[in-house]
Amino acid sequence: MAALSKIREAGFNINLDGDSIVITPSSKLTQTQRDFLKSHKAEIIGELKSLLVTCYSPSGLVYEIEAQNLEHAQWLKKMNPKRSSYGE
């Protein structure tokens, strides 16, 4: 999570929009940071995708949740496994 952490530690919010990354506040990015993002885009997208966890409500609704980190993602998956009996 090095590339993602580096951007977040610099004070930016970073999220996925399809296969694009959205960074706020983008107006505060320096040219060096923009270059870093371009050269690490695939890595950052992979890191963000690894934090997305599909969760299920008791009524069977499906939510995609962004975990705070890998440990949180693993915990969400463990505590919220898909059950075939949802909605039945």
Per-residue burial over 32-55, b if 16 or more Cβ lie within 10 Å, else e, is ebeebbeebeeebbebbeebebeb
Reported as a pLDDT band with limits 50, 70 and 90, residue 1 is low
Compute the C-alpha angle 41/19/5, nearest 5°.
40
Beta strands (DSSP E) in the chain are: 13-17, 20-24, 52-56, 62-66
Give mean pLDDT, residues 25-36. Answer: 96
Average pLDDT for the chain: 89
DSSP code of residue 18: T
Note the pLDDT of residue 76: 92
- Is pLDDT at 19 greater than 90 in this prediction? no
Q: What is the residue extent of each domain of the chain?
A: 2-50, 51-88
The secondary element (H helix, E strand) that includes residue 38 is helix 31-39
Note the pLDDT of residue 58: 83
Reported as a pLDDT band with limits 50, 70 and 90, residue 85 is low
